[in-house]
Chains A and B, each alone.
Chain A
């Protein structure tokens, strides 16, 4: 389980002229996917005041793990923008090359308590990187702003 926090040490930003690119490292693929979800959330909202009041099950499929990463973050972006949710915790419960299942916790957006910072138009394949070496997983993803 990975909880939303301000400025986690495992999260980095890659300078990109127009858009937002984040880089994350973790010691398992599951943690990497959870941390990338935290990275996404920190792009779109201030983490302060987001509570774990409700939970939702998320399931996505793709042709490969890179595609899965894009689908996972796209699903969170859809839930954020269309169901007006913000998230505080991510628990990847099952992960294969082509399927991810997760429980996400959070609450509906309340503009009196939550500050929304930016709009992610889409999660892109551009600059996407997913690597695993010497026990460390690294992921990089670029959001179209």
Chain B
């Protein structure tokens, strides 16, 4: 995209004014360096396409980790009017409610360093991962229906976790609009066998430690201190969510014609929120959201089992859920629009909710600080815990970046990794790695990603989040 189209409107904020079919501007969050990279990619054009969709409010947004997606850019955020707006599977993605959970151990790295390899091996044995690998939890279709209605609550009811987990999950681990009746038989079939599985690609489990504290008061509120052992879970709704999106696209394509919605990209197929087609997608999508909440809850349980095996019972093996965020989702939320509180449908695709201080949806223990925002980096560098801000509420419908974002295609990464032992290179830096597939290791190496620190700095620069702590990886498990 031509850089000349961009106008800088604030520190780390750029705008493409509405023109042509755009109903609102496109607004991009990036440092000078990141905006140059974004212009080499198609993400800005995709944000412009989103800006042309009916009922969009304020602007089509792209977070600092933006990159070329399909339909919406990855890092895309857009809010739509509930009466005049649309809902689009292209604004949610195939891996519905892909997300991250951060858990904190009472153990310190200094006391546990010699156990990290054993812990990684235990996780590798306990948590099913890799392509097409089935779950260790048996569900039939009747049980799956309950899971789709109740999300993480289903898992806690079944003994996979504790009630305190639910308080620290976005939406308490359940969306109430799930409708299993509109889910296809094929999606049900894909969903039955995959609960408690990590999957492949960029999904991971990571054992790390708090490496640097930027805001001691906020870190204390989140229960995080320097040297503390942490774990992160990154996965989503598995084949169930992929199928829900797949099923929706042809129906939404027809709906777009039926409701005379001009689509600049077929992958932006959509339907009015209030239409039967829109309601059908929302019911199935929310069921997939709940599937992912349950999946991460079961994996958290398997994490706890692994800690118990390595560190013994009692307090040592406690893992407290710090927070869990969704990355790929469309949700109804209240936001100020032209000074008036309004219920809108916020699409976040490769973006994280980042509600500011005193928001009622932030857990009480964190409310004075703001919502914890979890930003995993690549497997060889670091990750961040940020806090949502009032500025995010004003500028981005309470949204922020979701990760480092890829900088290199998978093929290019494979070429760069050829002949190298990436796991050995990481071990030299003190990071252990296990993966089911060697190809995944090459594709996911650090050089294939943007520098997460730059992405996070871009969020701070524009004020949409602030840094609380940095996490250093110690052991990483990939599918």
Contacts and interface: CB of A to CB of B under 8 A. Distances in A.
Contact of A82 (B69, B71, B239, B440): B239
B94 A144 contact: yes
Nearest to A16: B409
B466 to A, nearest CB: 28
Contact of A74 (B199, B246, B407): B246
Contacts of A142: 70
Nearest to A122: B94
A101 to B, nearest CB: 19
A125 interface: yes
A116 B68 CA distance: 26
Contacts, number: 99
Contacts of A121: 94-95, 201, 242
Contact of A84 (B71, B132, B243, B408): B132
A125 B95 contact: no
Contacts of A11: none
B407 A17 contact: yes
A37 B400 CA distance: 38
Sorting the interface of chain B by its residue count into under 10, 10 to 19, 20 to 34 or 35 or more gives 35 or more
A116 B242 contact: no
Q: Which of A15, A19, A20, A119 has the most CB of B within 10 A?
A: A119
25 contacts: A13-B411, A17-B67, A18-B410, A67-B250, A74-B246, A81-B132, A81-B190, A81-B239, A82-B189, A82-B190, A116-B130, A117-B131, A118-B200, A118-B201, A119-B132, A119-B200, A121-B95, A121-B201, A122-B94, A125-B269, A126-B265, A142-B70, A144-B93, A144-B94, A144-B242
Given A81-B190, A117-B131, 18 more contacts: A15-B411, A17-B406, A17-B409, A18-B74, A18-B406, A18-B410, A19-B70, A20-B411, A44-B131, A62-B250, A63-B254, A116-B130, A118-B439, A119-B131, A121-B94, A121-B242, A144-B70, A144-B242
Interface of A: 13, 15-20, 44, 62-63, 66-67, 74, 78, 80-82, 84, 109, 116-119, 121-128, 142, 144-145
Interface of B: 41, 67-71, 74, 93-95, 130-132, 186, 189-190, 199-201, 239, 242-243, 245-246, 249-250, 253-254, 265-267, 269, 406-412, 437, 439-440, 479
